[in-house]
Each structure stands twice: as structure tokens, then as C-alpha cells.
């Protein structure tokens, strides 16, 4: 008969290696074969365990056997593998049952953590492997947290217990039972912490249970510690996902950061994936205006990528062509992703600075000052000490800018990063990303223009926005990119309108524009009108060709604001011909009326259009009088 180790290794090869090559028609062939071997192994171990329990002369063997025993640990390992195979072959209830049985064997099947289809602990071959009369220690402690049995914290079984809880956490998460998944994963954290505090003995890996320590290589102690550390890193990663699903974003981000920190320390990760994950996490802190943390994450991501780039480029001769191409593609895309996140950082920082420059309440502004010092303290806890990123962090500030020179430095950095990202996200292969990056570049110019005191230079910045957006929209087919074209038309319309206002500001209040100035103002106003009409035309019912009687919830305000702008733009057109003036004002009146009539018919819109609606009602009253006044002057 084959030895226990031979049977175990054969089962492991089948479901971990040979299963990768199973035919499409029999996707679980090797896993089922491994399951059969593990069932035989389970029967042998259960029989051996019964014999050991009956033999009063059985003493302690390897370390930890006086607590649980190597046979019990092996039996738990086999049952654990059966659970994993069951889950992977879509037998979820059976997998849950096996995993809970494995926890029973290692002394950590705590009531409240097992599910509706939990293991039947009366199973004859498991009763003898249970808690050795120590069940009371598994009841809830005074703190409300289940206490940990010494059995579960044995060097032989702690990795097993953590693995089982991790697998059950994943299983319940896939069932969208996130609170239950959280319980198992938090239990994994507790086991890891308790083990670290209580003992200095290196744990055994699950695979090493079927070979004696003396037969292992000299690095078995390091392997055991590394395996437990890796398991704990996985636990933190899974907890981050679970907390995210539960809407607890701050906790999710904290666990994501802990995962990244541990991965970097252990160097047990794909560095490209690490960089992208760090950059993505920065966007969470960016949305919460925690710029120092976001900047550190982005600097760390860029540092890791730059260190890895040389290795990627130098490996091209050592790899076959296809593998090298895939590796370069992954690196280039990840590099573009990180650069894009950097560009977005600069954009959000500028937009935040604009908001701070025009506060609604002075007291609100002063109340935010203490938060910055508190964030400084938090930053030190979140630093990746292994990386020296001071040079990268010094390129961009992490606080609101207050004047044009400061804003320009942030702008130039953001534009450089977005331009580099856009080279990868070309229109041919990445049309959607190309458009989004271009829009972000446009918004960078918009934010910078706020700090520019010169109306002439401000107008040139908006002209640059128009050049960027116009080049993109000409390449898009509205049939396939309807929503994108709507966004671009709306932004172009607003930009032309802003440029028109700048030209009016240059003329000065109360002054008559020159013919050249009037022509430029009319050109800008007409262009804005055209793009607002393009946007509104895209909203028409395809069957009737008319505007919908009621806009959808997400489009009602943009549509009504577009009508409002049309009313304003028609009234801004300059004409020396009284008849043209009256016609322009009539167009203006028609658009203002459209807003008023829609809001009167759909009263729920009055709140979201309160400011514009008040102006529209006023203009509906004033414009007829103004039109009549112009007519009277011509008589």
C-alpha cells in the first residue's frame, strides 16, 4: 500500500497541476480523481486516529502533537482539500461542510461562524478528532469575541485554521453574504494575531504535515513563517473586498493599504499589479481630498514601475516573442494607467483649489485647517518605508494652490502625465479611454483658466479646450458613441459660451464693441448654440423626432440647463438691425418659456432648477416688453 505521503502528493498533483490540462468535455476529471484519493486517505487517517485514541501508550511525537497530534492535523488537511475541491467543482454546500469539519478537527468550529449547511459534528470519524474535552474554551469570552482554543493555535494547525476561515470567507462572499464572510475573515486575523503573540515556534505549512520536519530542507522554519504571513496577507485582501461590498469604504481602503504594504515587504507579488493597485487606491483618497496619501501612493506606484521597467526591457532577448510582447503590453498599459491617475490627481487638486478660492462660508474654511495636521500624522502610518519617493513627491504639491504660478506648476505636471497616457490610449485601439483622457486634459485647462487674471489669455486656454474636444468628436460615430458625443457637445457648448463671456469682459461694461469684436462674439455665441442644439437633438425620440415629454432623471437638469443657455445666448447676439434684434429676442423668449412650461408641468423639477427657473420667469416677463420697445423705436 502507498504511504500517506505518496497518496497525498499524488492527490495534490492531480488537482493543482494536472487539472490545468483537463479536456473541455471533462473539466473536473483530475479534481474528481484527486477527491477519490483524498477520501481513501481520510478513511485511513480516521482509522489510525481511532487506534491512537485507544492506545494509552501513545506519547508526544513532533512538536505540537501533545496538543492535537499529527494524525488529527493530517486528517484536517485532507478534509480541507476536499472542501476546496468541492468549491472548485461548484459543489458549494459540500465544500462548506468539509471546511467546517476541518475547523472542528482543529478546534475552531465556533458556533455562529458556520452556515446553514454546516458540518454534522456527530460524524463518527470526526467526534474522536474534536475538541478533546475543551469545548468550554470555545464559548464567547466576556468581550463578545469567541476565545481561541490552544488546539487551533498549535504550530501544526494554525495555518489550516486560517486557510479554512479564508476559504469560508470567500465562499460566503460569493454568495453575497458579506457579514458572515467578514466573521470568518476576522477570525482568521484573530488566529494570526494570537499565534504571533503566544508562540515563537514556526508553524507548519499544510503540505509539510505529510512529511517529518527532519525530512524537509533546512529552510522549513522560514517556509512555515512565510506561508502564514502570505495567508494573512490574503486575509487582509479578502477583508478589503468584503468591506467594500458592505459600503464601509474607509475600512476597505485601510485593508487594501495593509495588503499593499505587506506585499511590498515580502516581495511576494507581481510588481506591475502592485503599482496599478496602489494607483487605484490613490483615487479613493483623492475623492476624499486626502492629497498627501494619494500623492504618496502614486509616487510609490511610479517608483515601482520605473524600477521594474529595466527588467522588462532587458528580458526581451530571454523570452520567446509572444511572451515578451504580452509582458511589454501589460507594462505599457499599467504605466499608462498610473500616469493617468497622476493626471487626475493634478486635475482634482486644481478643482479643489478653485472651490477653496470661492468658499461659501469663511468659518468652514478655517474649520478645515486642523484636519491637515491630523492628516500629516496619518501619512506617516501609511508610508511605504521601503521606497524613497521624496523626489517624485516634490514635483507636485499636496495642498490647495492659491495663485496662477502655483496652479501652473500643477497644470503642467498633470498635462504631461495625461499626454503620456493618451499616447497609449490612442483612438484606434482605446477610443473610450482616449476620449476620457482628452476630456480630463480639457478640464485641466478650465481649472487653470480660473487663476488666470488676463481675459485674453483665459480665452486662449478655452480655445485650446475646443481644439482638443473638436478633434475627438470629429472621429466619433454618434451611432456607436451617442453618450460620449452628447458629453462632448455639451462641454464644447459651455466652452464657447465661456469664451463669449470673456470677449464681453474685454469690451467692458457699457462700451460698444468694435465690428471685429462683435463678429467674434457672434461667432462664439452661434457655435455655442449649435453645440447645445446638437446635444438636445440627440435627446429626441427616434420615432417622433420630437423632444421627450419627460426627460429621464439623470438627463433632466442638463437638458433644461441647455434650454436655459440657449435663451441667454440668443439674447447675447449683437446686431445693428432692429428686426434681427427682435428675432433674436423672440428665440431667446421661446427657450426661456420652454424651461418654465416644463417645470410647471413637472413640478418636481422646480427644486433642481430653482435658480435658473427664477431667471427664466423674469425673462418671460421682460423680453416681450423689450421687443415691443425695439419695434416702437423703428416706427
SS (H, E, C) 27-48: CCHHHHHHHHHHHHHHHHHHHH
Helix or strand run (H / E) with residue 85: helix 70-88
Beta-bridge mates of residue 146? 140
CA atoms within 13 A on the CB side of 220: 18
Q: Whole-angstrom Cα distance, residue 93 to residue 116? A: 9
Per DSSP, the chain holds a count of helices (H) and strands (E) of: 23, 0
Between these two residues, 466 and 542, which has the higher pLDDT value? 466
Cell of residue 262, nine digits: 505587506
pLDDT digits (tens, 9 = 90+) for 346-399: 999 999 999 998 866 544 444 444 444 445 555 666 788 778 888 899 999 999
Greatest pairwise CA separation for the chain in angstroms = 124
**Single pTM value for the model:** 0.83
Cβ atoms of 281 and 257 within 8 Å: the answer is: yes
Q: What is the mean pLDDT of the chain?
A: 85
Q: Whole-angstrom Cα distance, residue 435 to residue 514? A: 38
Q: What is the pLDDT at residue 319?
A: 54
- φ/ψ (deg, to 5) at 17: -115, -60
Q: Whole-angstrom Cα distance, residue 556 to residue 570? A: 22
- φ/ψ (deg, to 5) at 289: 60, 30
Mean pLDDT over residues 135-156, rounded? 57
Q: Whole-angstrom Cα distance, residue 213 to residue 204? A: 9
Cβ atoms of 238 and 184 within 8 Å: the answer is: no
pLDDT digits (tens, 9 = 90+) for 55-101: 554 444 444 444 348 888 999 999 999 999 999 999 999 999 999 99
Between these two residues, 413 and 135, which has the higher pLDDT value? 413
Q: Tell me the pLDDT band of 312, cut-offs 50, 70 and 90.
A: low
pLDDT digits (tens, 9 = 90+) for 58-68: 444 444 444 34
Q: What is the pLDDT at residue 217?
A: 53
Q: How many CB atoms are located within 10 Å of the residue 109 CB?
A: 25
Q: What angle do CA 425, 428, 434 make, to 5 degrees?
A: 35
Segments in 212-270 forming alpha helices (H): 220-245, 249-266
Cell of residue 443, nine digits: 478640464
With a cut of 70, say whether residue 316 has pLDDT above it. Answer: no
Mapped onto helix, strand or coil, the DSSP state of residue 351 is helix
- φ/ψ (deg, to 5) at 511: -95, 150
Mean pLDDT over residues 255-283, rounded? 91
Q: Tell me the pLDDT band of 487, cut-offs 50, 70 and 90.
A: very high
Buried b / exposed e along 43-60 (16+ C-beta atoms within 10 A):
ebbbeebeeeeeeeeeee
DSSP 393-413: HTTS-SS---SHHHHHHHHHH
| 220: exposed, middle or buried (Cβ count in 10 Å: 0-12, 13-18, 19+) | middle
Q: Whole-angstrom Cα distance, residue 563 to residue 569? A: 10
Q: What is the pLDDT at residue 166?
A: 96
Beta-bridge mates of residue 140? 146
Look-up of cell digits 515556534 = 201
Q: Whole-angstrom Cα distance, residue 382 to residue 469? A: 38
Amino acid at each position: 500500500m502507498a504511504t500517506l505521503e505518496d497518496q497525498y502528493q499524488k492527490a495534490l498533483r492531480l488537482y493543482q497541476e494536472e487539472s490545468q490540462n483537463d479536456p473541455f468535455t471533462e473539466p473536473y476529471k483530475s479534481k474528481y480523481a484527486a477527491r477519490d484519493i483524498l477520501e481513501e486517505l481520510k478513511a485511513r487517517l480516521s482509522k489510525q486516529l481511532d487506534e491512537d485514541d485507544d492506545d494509552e501508550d501513545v506519547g508526544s511525537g513532533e512538536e505540537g502533537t501533545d496538543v492535537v497530534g499529527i494524525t488529527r492535523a493530517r486528517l484536517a488537511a485532507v478534509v480541507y482539500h476536499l472542501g476546496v475541491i468541492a468549491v472548485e467543482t461548484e459543489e458549494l454546500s459540500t465544500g462548506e461542510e468539509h471546511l467546517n469539519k476541518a475547523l472542528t478537527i482543529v478546534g475552531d468550529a465556533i458556533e455562529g461562524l458556520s452556515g446553514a449547511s454546516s458540518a454534522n459534528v456527530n460524524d463518527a470519524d470526526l467526534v474522536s478528532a474534536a475538541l478533546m474535552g475543551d469545548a468550554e474554551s470555545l464559548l464567547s469570552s466576556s468581550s463578545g469575541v469567541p476565545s481561541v482554543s490552544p488546539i487551533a493555535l498549535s504550530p501544526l494547525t494554525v495555518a489550516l485554521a486560517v486557510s479554512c476561515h479564508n476559504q469560508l470567507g470567500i465562499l460566503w462572499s460569493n454568495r453575497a453574504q458579506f457579514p458572515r464572510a467578514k466573521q470568518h475573515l476576522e477570525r482568521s486575523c484573530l488566529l494570526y494575531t494570537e499565534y504571533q503573540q503566544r508562540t515563537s515556534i514556526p508553524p507548519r505549512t499544510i503540505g509539510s504535515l505529510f512529511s517529518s520536519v527532519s525530512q524537509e530542507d533546512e529552510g522549513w522554519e522560514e517556509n512555515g513563517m512565510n506561508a502564514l504571513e502570505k495567508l494573512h496577507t490574503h486575509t487582509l485582501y479578502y477583508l478589503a473586498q468584503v468591506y467594500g461590498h458592505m459600503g464601509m469604504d474607509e475600512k476597505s481602503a485601510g485593508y487594501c493599504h495593509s495588503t499593499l504594504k505587506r506585499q511590498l515587504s515580502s516581495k511576494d507579488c507581481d510588481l506591475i499589479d502592485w503599482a496599478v493597485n496602489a494607483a487605484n487606491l490613490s483615487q479613493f483618497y483623492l475623492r476624499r481630498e486626502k492629497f498627501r496619501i494619494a500623492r504618496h501612493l502614486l509616487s510609490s506606484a511610479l517608483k515601482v514601475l520605473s524600477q521594474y521597467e529595466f527588467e522588462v526591457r532587458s528580458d526581451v532577448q530571454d523570452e520567446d516573442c509572444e511572451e515578451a510582447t504580452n509582458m511589454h503590453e501589460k507594462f505599457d498599459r499599467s504605466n499608462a494607467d498610473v500616469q493617468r491617475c497622476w493626471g487626475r490627481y493634478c486635475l482634482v487638486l486644481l478643482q479643489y483649489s478653485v472651490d477653496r478660492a470661492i468658499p461659501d462660508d469663511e468659518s468652514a474654511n478655517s474649520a478645515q485647517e486642523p484636519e491637515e495636521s491630523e492628516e500629516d500624522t496619518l501619512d506617516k502610518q501609511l508610508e511605504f518605508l521601503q521606497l524613497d519617493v521624496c523626489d517624485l513627491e516634490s514635483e507636485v504639491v499636496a495642498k490647495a494652490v492659491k495663485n496662477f504660478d502655483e496652479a501652473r506648476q500643477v497644470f503642467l505636471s498633470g498635462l504631461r502625465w495625461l499626454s503620456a497616457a493618451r499616447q497609449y490610449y490612442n483612438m484606434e485601439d482605446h477610443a473610450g479611454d482616449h476620449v476620457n483622457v482628452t476630456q480630463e486634459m480639457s478640464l485641466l485647462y478650465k481649472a487653470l483658466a480660473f487663476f488666470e487674471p488676463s481675459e485674453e489669455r483665459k480665452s486662449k486656454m478655452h480655445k485650446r479646450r475646443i481644439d482638443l474636444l473638436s478633434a475627438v468628436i470629429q472621429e466619433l460615430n454618434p451611432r456607436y458613441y451617442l453618450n460620449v458625443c452628447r458629453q462632448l457637445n455639451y462641454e464644447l457648448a459651455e466652452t464657447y459660451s465661456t469664451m463669449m463671456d470673456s470677449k464681453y469682459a474685454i469690451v467692458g461694461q457699457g462700451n460698444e464693441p468694435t465690428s471685429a469684436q462683435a463678429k467674434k462674439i457672434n461667432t462664439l455665441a452661434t457655435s455655442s448654440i449649435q453645440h447645445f442644439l446638437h446635444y438636445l437633438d440627440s435627446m429626441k425620440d427616434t420615432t417622433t423626432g420630437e423632444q421627450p415629454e419627460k426627460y429621464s432623471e439623470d438627463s433632466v437638469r442638463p437638458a433644461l440647463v441647455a434650454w436655459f443657455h440657449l435663451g441667454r445666448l440668443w439674447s447675447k447676439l449683437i446686431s445693428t438691425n432692429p428686426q434681427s434684434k427682435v428675432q433674436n429676442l423672440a428665440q431667446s423668449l421661446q427657450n426661456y418659456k420652454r424651461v418654465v412650461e416644463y417645470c410647471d408641468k413637472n413640478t418636481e423639477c422646480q427644486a433642481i432648477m430653482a435658480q435658473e427657473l427664477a431667471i427664466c420667469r423674469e425673462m418671460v416677463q421682460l423680453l416681450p416688453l423689450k421687443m415691443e420697445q425695439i419695434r416702437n423705436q423703428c416706427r
